[in-house]
Amino acid sequence: MSVAAAIEIKGWCPGALRPMESGDGLLVRVKPRGSSLTLAQASGLAEVAGRLGNGHIDLTRRANLQIRGLDAAVLPELHRALDRLDLLDPDAGTEAVRNIMVGPLAGPEGRALASALGEAVAADRKLVAHLPAKFGWLVDAPGPLSIVGERAEIALCVLTAGVALRVGGRWRGIMPHDKAVSLALAVARAHLDGREIPTLGRMDIVPAPGRRTLGAVARLFGIAAPFGRLETSQLQSLVALATAAGASELRLSPWRALYVDAPVDGAREFGLIVDDEDPLLRIDACPGKPACRSASVDTRRDAYRLATMGFVGSIHLSGCAKGCARSASAELVLVGCEGRYGIVRNGTARSLPQQTTDPDHLAAVLRG
């Protein structure tokens, strides 16, 4: 099979150098290298988001962060600040293709591989010029937090026998460790040219995905932000806790959870989630009104209300039928339309609602 047939990609993504208009101003996406922030970077980012933006920071499903509520006039200052924090790429093209997600428990070999891959992609001007912005890479190793189950056009999993390669959704074989970067790049180039995937060594076992786990896990401590949104004060408080605990970094994940490399105590006190049973974890909610122009309902305010009502299934509140916060089906989906919610059971934001309700009558929906 050709690489082009194995991979289908649409659309574009914002970056720090390519801001996107949103309901609360411009948003920029910051892509920490290795999906990890030093505590100094995290603190600096919080300071910048509070001083130049509106103080809201999104954790994205590609282990990146978004600063919101920016005015075009502050972009030069923002870029200088991000550059000082080593969180800025040299140009928008390089930034767009540097989509390498690294698992929170990836060891030194995986991190070195991701770093070498990032440099090689950035140095390949053909890839920078032509690779679609949504072309995603993933680097990890097996383990309880392994992200190998996440979407990536090219995934690399570091094993003892070599580096396993997944293209599109299929594992293709094992590469020698020292050939992994060059072979992965060859696959990306083959994608652009419509050529065949290079032949690789046989693999007998497919890497198993891990899952989001909060609290103490392996040598990390997992903390989630409700609906993937951190306020600058929460991030600064988390940095203070992590510093006191002797941590050195915050690792990002596609699960909108952060992993601190030391046990921290007290994050619940400032509104973060440290318990896998927290009902907020079962609720996805897009930014909604007023952050998004397409929304006519305050999804996150209503999500907090729903979290106290005892519904045990998955819930998706979407400001409109686009369904940005969740593409998978949920047991209860509330889709905003002209100030009311359309109600879908066991479907997505794009499903046809069976009835509608006023946001103030959500408790009746759960009873029904």
Strand bridging mode 283-285 / 25-30: unpaired
Q: Shortest Cβ distance from residue 16 to ligand SF4 (Å)?
A: 20
Number of CB atoms found within 10 A of residue 64's CB: 21
Footprint (CB under 6 A) of ligand SF4, residues 320-339? 320, 322-324
Determine if 66 is a binding residue for ligand SF4 (CB under 6 A): no
Q: Shortest Cβ distance from residue 315 to ligand SF4 (Å)?
A: 14
Strand bridging mode 340-347 / 330-337: antiparallel
**CA–CA separation, 55 and 307 (whole Å):** 24
Determine if 318 is a binding residue for ligand SF4 (CB under 6 A): yes
Q: Shortest Cβ distance from residue 22 to ligand SF4 (Å)?
A: 8
**CA–CA separation, 174 and 124 (whole Å):** 23
Number of CB atoms found within 10 A of residue 292's CB: 19
| Per-residue mark of binding to ligand SF4, 237-276 (x: CB under 6 A) | ----------------------------------------
Instruction: Indicate which single residue of 180, 274, 292, 330 sits in contact with ligand SF4 (rule: CB under 6 A).
Output: 292
Instruction: Indicate which single residue of 295, 306, 330, 334 sits in contact with ligand SF4 (rule: CB under 6 A).
Output: 295
The one-letter amino acid code at 161 reads: A
Determine if 342 is a binding residue for ligand SF4 (CB under 6 A): no
Q: Shortest Cβ distance from residue 23 to ligand SF4 (Å)?
A: 7
User: 168-174: long-range contacts at Cβ-Cβ below 8 A with a sequence spacing of 24 or more?
Assistant: 168/6, 168/7, 169/6, 170/6, 171/203, 171/206, 171/207, 172/197, 172/200, 173/199, 173/200, 173/201, 173/202, 173/203, 174/200, 174/201, 174/202, 174/203
Find the part of the chain contacting ligand SF4 (CB under 6 A) among 113-121, 167-175, 218-226, 289-297: 289-297
Q: Shortest Cβ distance from residue 8 to ligand SF4 (Å)?
A: 22
First to last CA, the chain: 49
Q: Which is nearer to ligand SF4, 282 or 316 (CB)?
A: 316
How remote is the C-alpha of 220 from its chain's centroid? 18
Q: Which is nearer to ligand SF4, 142 or 319 (CB)?
A: 319
Q: Shortest Cβ distance from residue 324 to ligand SF4 (Å)?
A: 3
Number of CB atoms found within 10 A of residue 6's CB: 19
Note the residues at the interface with ligand SF4 (CB under 6 A): 286-288, 292, 294-295, 318-320, 322-324
